[in-house]
């Protein structure tokens, strides 16, 4: 029996490329000098796609593949894929949840501490040879502070558990309250921001959350407030964030994601008290290998057993 043909859009890590090349006939788009020519020649044969984040999987792109059965995304976020449209064509979409939850939660807590205590700035200060006297006392602290989490999913809950161990009060905002947690729920993001000292975004991207964190939210958070984002950059109006930081509407921010990655606004780079990370929340070899293996497993499991392992919410697949 011939191997299924799949399209590989990105230069993935070895565990992904090795796994895919052993199980499938692969067409590696990222290698092509003329990607359009490759797509035109193989689109009719493609039954699966190993998707990264370099190509927007909109309806027009998806429709180029008449025999497509599954899009396996690398990463838990899949706002680059129109999963709802894929569902209308009975195309499965999978992502890689759970395997990165704890790593991202660790990074979120680390970023929050770095931001509150100016750890990045103080290290730069030391390296610049300025330790002739004590580093100025930091205005920020997490002692006695209230953490508000926007997006209490798998990752949000893992962050909340860690914050509880730090003796922080935890509250949250989702579209609806959750039955399996005791944290205080706020029906609106504005109410959550007004209540908390640290607003942490762990929400997904997409049209429903685009720029949901805006001027009004920063005003509600207030001049002693700290904003942390390990969710998606598209959730934040970056112009409003820059203005809030420049005008001291909020105290500081720690960001692992940005709206137009890898482009980071120069105004943010110029702010020494703001902590900026290059989207590294899940970026350990251990965790990325686990994510890659799950991406491969979703594809191999589908073609071998006729079932996805981790289908996304929009995918037309029976839920247990």
Question: Is 255 in contact with 268 (CB distance < 8 Å)?
Answer: yes
Residue 320 has pLDDT above 70, yes or no: no
Which residue reads 């449209």 in tokens? 85
pTM for this predicted structure = 0.92
Residue 316's pLDDT is 78
84 belongs to a structural domain: yes
- Residue 4 Cα to chain centre, angstroms: 30
Provide the number of structural domains found in the chain. 2
Same domain, 196 and 301: no
Residue 319's pLDDT is 54
Same domain, 82 and 115: no
319 belongs to a structural domain: no
281 belongs to a structural domain: no
For residue 30, the domain's CATH number is: 3.40.50.720
Distance, in Å, from the CA atom of 183 to the CA atom of 180, rounded to the nearest integer, reads 9
- Residue 233 Cα to chain centre, angstroms: 8
Same domain, 191 and 207: yes
Same domain, 134 and 267: yes
Q: pLDDT (tens digit, 9 = 90+) per residue, 109-136?
A: 999 999 999 999 999 999 999 999 999 9
Same domain, 207 and 175: yes
198 belongs to a structural domain: yes
Same domain, 215 and 196: yes
Same domain, 59 and 110: no
Same domain, 78 and 139: no
Cβ atoms within 10 Å, residue 314 = 17
311 belongs to a structural domain: no
312 belongs to a structural domain: no
Same domain, 160 and 225: yes
Q: pLDDT (tens digit, 9 = 90+) per residue, 84-98?
A: 999 999 999 999 999
- Catalytic annotation, residues: 232, 261, 279
Q: Is the peptide bond before 159 cis (omega within 30 degrees of 0)?
A: no
- Residue 171 Cα to chain centre, angstroms: 20
Which of 318, 254, 281, 237 is closest to 77 using CA atoms? 281
Which residue reads 């994510």 in tokens? 291
Characterise 309 by phi-psi region: left (phi > 0), alpha (psi -120 to 50), beta (else): alpha
Same domain, 112 and 253: yes
Residue 317's pLDDT is 77
Mean pLDDT of the chain: 96
DSSP string, the chain: -PPPEEEE-S---HHHHHHHHHHSEEEEGGG-SSHHHHHHHHGGGEEEEEE-SSS-B-HHHHTT-TT--EEEESSS--TTB-HHHHHHTT-EEE---STTHHHHHHHHHHHHHHHHHTHHHHHHHHHTT-TTSPPPPPS---TT-EEEEE--SHHHHHHHHHHHHTT-EEEEE-SS--TT--SEE-SSHHHHHHH-SEEEE----STTTTT-B-HHHHHHH-TT-EEEE-S-GGGB-HHHHHHHHHTTSSSEEEES--TBTTB--HHHHT-TTSEE--S-TT-SHHHHHHHHHHHHHHHHHHHHHS--SSB-TTS-----
Residue 245's pLDDT is 98
173 belongs to a structural domain: yes
Q: pLDDT (tens digit, 9 = 90+) per residue, 37-52?
A: 999 999 999 999 999 9
Distance, in Å, from the CA atom of 130 to the CA atom of 116, rounded to the nearest integer, reads 21
**Which residues, in sequence order, are CB contacts of 129 under 8 Å at separation 6+?**
none
Same domain, 272 and 293: no
Q: pLDDT (tens digit, 9 = 90+) per residue, 183-218?
A: 999 999 999 999 999 999 999 998 999 999 999 999
**Reported confidence tier of residue 283, pLDDT bands at 50, 70, 90:** very high
Same domain, 117 and 257: yes
Which residue reads 């039955």 in tokens? 179
320 belongs to a structural domain: no
Residue 1 has pLDDT above 90, yes or no: no
Q: Which structural domain range is residue 187 located in? A: 101-276
């Amino acid at each position: 029996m011939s191997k299924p043909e799949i399209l590989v859009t990105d230069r993935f890590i070895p565990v992904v490329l090795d796994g895919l090349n052993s199980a499938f006939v692969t067409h590696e788009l990222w290698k092509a000098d003329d990607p359009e020519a490759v797509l035109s020649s193989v689109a009719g044969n493609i039954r699966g796609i190993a998707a990264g984040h370099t190509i927007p999987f909109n309806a027009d792109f998806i429709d180029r593949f008449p025999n497509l059965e599954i899009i396996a995304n690398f990463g838990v976020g899949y706002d680059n894929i129109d999963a709802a449209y894929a569902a209308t064509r009975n195309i499965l979409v999978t992502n890689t949840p759970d395997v990165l939850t704890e790593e991202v939660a660790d990074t979120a807590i680390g970023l929050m501490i770095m931001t509150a205590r100016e750890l990045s700035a103080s290290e730069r200060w030391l390296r610049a040879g300025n330790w002739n006297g004590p580093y100025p006392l930091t205005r920020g602290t997490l002692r006695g502070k209230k953490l508000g989490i926007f997006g209490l999913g798998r990752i949000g809950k893992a962050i909340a558990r860690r914050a509880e161990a730090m003796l922080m009060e935890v509250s949250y905002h989702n579209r609806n309250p959750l039955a399996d947690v005791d944290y205080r729920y706020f029906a609106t993001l504005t109410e959550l921001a007004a209540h908390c000292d640290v607003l942490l975004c762990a929400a997904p991207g997409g049209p429903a959350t685009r720029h949901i964190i805006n001027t009004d939210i920063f005003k509600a958070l207030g001049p002693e407030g700290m904003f942390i984002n390990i969710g998606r950059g598209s959730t934040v109006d970056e112009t409003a964030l820059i203005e809030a930081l420049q005008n001291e509407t909020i105290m500081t921010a720690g960001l692992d994601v940005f709206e137009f990655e890898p482009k980071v606004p120069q105004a943010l780079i110029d702010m020494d008290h703001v902590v900026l990370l290059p989207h590294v929340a899940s970026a350990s070899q251990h965790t990325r290998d686990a994510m890659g293996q799950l991406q491969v497993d979703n594809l191999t499991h589908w073609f071998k057993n006729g079932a996805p392992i981790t289908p996304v919410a929009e995918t037309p697949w029976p839920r247990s």
